[in-house]
Structure 1
Amino acid sequence: MAYTDVIYSVDAGVATVTLNRPDRLNAWCASLDADVRAAMREATDDAAVRVIILTGAGRGFCAGADMNVLQGIQDGDRATRPGPPAPWDAAAREDFRKQYSWFPAVPKPIIGAINGPCAGLGMVLALYTDIRFASDAAVFSTAFSRRGLIAEHGISWLLPRLIGMANAADLLFSARRVEAAEARALGLVSRVIPHGDFMADVTAYARMLATEVSPRSLREMKRELWNAQFQDLGDAIEAANADMAGSFASEDFKEGVAHYLEKRPAAFTGQ
């Protein structure tokens, strides 16, 4: 598929979706919104893809909504604003069928590779990825309070779960700059990587997931992790117990035991 605002590539089981408006720090607009959804759909439908990386071209990840979009909204022009899309997966829980909360419904792990500035809507999107790695050149800001806006698109739900209520309030109220080291200390990202090694290290991690672990396990664990955010402990245990029989009957379980006993690399199929 041809894309206008993303670069899409696949190698060794890893699809990389690169936001490609570097002259605008990959600021979000309707065409970028559509391209990202299309690229994620292509990665989902491709059986050869097991892991997805989301990153940005140039020196930024995503600077938030394009100022032309914001200006258009101020002027009453809704054509510049991405409209609510159809649900990514009509069978997913309703929480994951909203305009920007559909990443959890993508049945493959999404790694947010935060290569540079990440602000506003860009930060919301990053927080919906499953794992976040940051370059040491990355900087974060919620940005909304400095535009007269609110905690948009579920970030008031996401941030406290990641960094606690008081830290979430700090970042939302102040919209201050958060450097990569502080983002790691707060729990916004899992790892900070030197910028020169960044994409190589992120890709190596993604390839490890794509080649060494069960795609079925990744798919089921992602669903369990996101659904568990709405469950109490007992419900999570019961849901896992219900899933257990399927895992025992799967081809990946048989292969998981066989490759260990035979001391050879795994050949998982995702079945």
Structure 2
Amino acid sequence: MSFEQLQYAVASHVATITLNRPDRLNALTRVMEAEIRLAMEQADADPGVRAIILTGAGRGFCAGMDMDELAVLPPDDIRAQQWMRPYDMNRRADYQTRYSYFPAIGKPVIAAVNGAAAGLGLIMALYSDIRFASKTAVFSTAFAKRGLIAEHGIAWILPRVVGQAHAADLLFSSRKIAAEEALGIGLVNRVTEPEALLEEALAYARDLAGNVSPRSIRIMKRQLWEAPYQTLGQAIADANQEMFLSIQSADFKEGIEHFQQRRPAAFTGE
């Protein structure tokens, strides 16, 4: 599949999705929004892909919605059915909406934030599983400075990542924070030199693709994203059931055998 506003490449079992409007700091358009979803679905359906990296071309990750489009955006676009279609009928409805579908992808999504991540750009990073940032990355919610509100579930996800007080600060003030502060409050997992960002993200993704069970990651990712809706007892019951199934899986057998035989793993995801 070819794309107009992003680049899509697969190598070493890792799909890299690169937002490609560098002259506009990869500001989001409705075309790009649709293409990101198609690219994510393509990577999820590809058995040759075991991890996904989302990054931006040039100096920006994603500077939010393109202001030219935002100025003429009809109010009812926010609820348009074309954006709200279910991704996976087996996943909870909360993870089927316009931007919250990243958790429904059965593979780890790693945001490699190379520059400005504002508004919707920050939301995409938050719905990713892991976030790497360049030292040049800058983060901002931006909404309050545009007369908007906490969009697309950011009032739910941001406090779970950085805590209630940090979330209130970032939402109310819309101030910009640099990568080191983002690391300090837990917004990102790792900060790198700008020239090393993509290679470090790729190295991490390749490690996941080559050395751990795709089946284990798929189940663990579902567990992590389901946990906010469960009691401890429900999470334990779910884990017990999944443990029963995992012990019968081909990946469990391979996990034991490659350890005993002192050889590289050859997981199949089954």
Calculate the TM-score normalised by the size of structure 1: 0.96
- Is the 8 Å Cα contact of residues 30 and 82 (structure 1) preserved in structure 2? no
* Residue 27 (structure 2) aligns with: 27
| Equivalent residue, structure 2, for 1:52 | 52
The yes-or-no answer on 1:241 pairing with 2:260 is no
Across the two proteins, how many residue pairs are aligned to each other?
269
Report the Cα distance in structure 2 between the residues aligned to 1:135 and 1:123, rounded to whole angstroms: 14
The equivalent residue for 1:254 is 253
The answer to which of 37-46 and 257-266 deviates more is 37-46
Match of 1:265 in 2: 264
Whole-Å Cα distance in 1 between the matches of residues 186 and 222 of structure 2? Answer: 21
Give 1:84 shift. 2.2
Deviation sequence 1:91-150 (CA, Å, 0-9, x none) = 210111111110000000000110100000110111000000101110000000000000
How far apart, CA to CA, are the structure 1 residues paired with 2:229 and 2:108? 19
The reply to whether residue 39 of structure 1 matches residue 39 of structure 2 is yes
SS at match of 1:252: helix
- Equivalence for 2:86: 87
Q: Which runs of 5+ in 2 are unaligned?
A: none
Which stretches in structure 1 are left out of the alignment for 5+ residues?
none
Task: Give the drift of 1:34.
Answer: 1.0
Q: Which residue of 2 aligns with 1:196?
A: 195
What does residue 165 of structure 2 align with? 166
Distance in 2 (alpha carbons) for counterparts of 1:199 and 1:266 = 25
Q: Indicate how the Cα distance of structure 1 residues 101 and 77 shifts in structure 2: closer, same or farther if over 3 A, else same.
A: closer
What is the identity, as a one-letter code, of the residue corresponding to 1:98?
T
SS at match of 2:131: strand
Which residue number corresponds to residue 153 of structure 1?
152
Q: Deviations over 1:163-199 (max 9, x none)?
A: 1111100000000010000000000000101111111
Structure 2 partner of 1:3: 3
Contact 1:27/1:66 (<8 A) preserved:
yes
Q: Secondary structure at 2:62's aligned position in 1?
A: coil
Q: Look up the match of 2:204.
A: 205
Equivalent residue for 2:69?
69
* Alignment root-mean-square deviation, CA: 1.5
Preserved contact between residue 84 and residue 96 of structure 2 (Cα < 8 Å): no
The Cα shift of 1:8 comes to 0.2
Find the aligned partners of 1:40 and 1:168 in 2 and give their Cα distance: 27
Residue type of the alignment partner of 2:182: A
The question of whether the paired residues in 2 share the 8 Å contact of 1:29 and 1:82 is answered with: no
- Measured after TM superposition, the shift of residue 41 of structure 1 is 1.3
The amino acid that maps onto 1:169 is A
Question: Using a 3 Å threshold, how does the CA distance of structure 1 residues 77 and 254 change in structure 2: closer, same or farther?
Answer: closer
1:41-91 residue CA offsets vs partner (Å, 9 max, x unmatched): 1111111100000000111000001101211027x7959x99524111122
Asked if the contact 1:162/1:187 (under 8 Å) is kept, the reply is yes
Is 1:187 the counterpart of 2:183 in the alignment? no
* TM-score normalised by L of structure 2: 0.97
Who is 1:176 aligned against? 175
Deviations 1:198-237 (A, max 9, x none): 1111101100000000000110100010001111211111
Give 3-state SS (helix, strand or coil) of 1:152's partner: coil
Contact 2:87–2:96 at 8 Å: present in 1 too?
Answer: yes
Distance 2:29 2:90 in 1: 27
8 Å CA contact retained: 2:142, 2:171: yes
Other-structure match for 1:111: 110
Change (3 A) 1:240 1:73: same
Question: Aligned AA for 1:228?
Answer: A
CA distance in structure 2 between the aligned counterparts of 1:230 and 1:179, rounded to whole angstroms: 32
Q: Larger deviation: 261-270 or 228-237?
A: 228-237
Contact 2:14–2:49 (CA<8 Å) still a contact in 1? yes
> Is contact 1:72-1:78 (8 Å) kept?
no
* Identity value in percent: 55
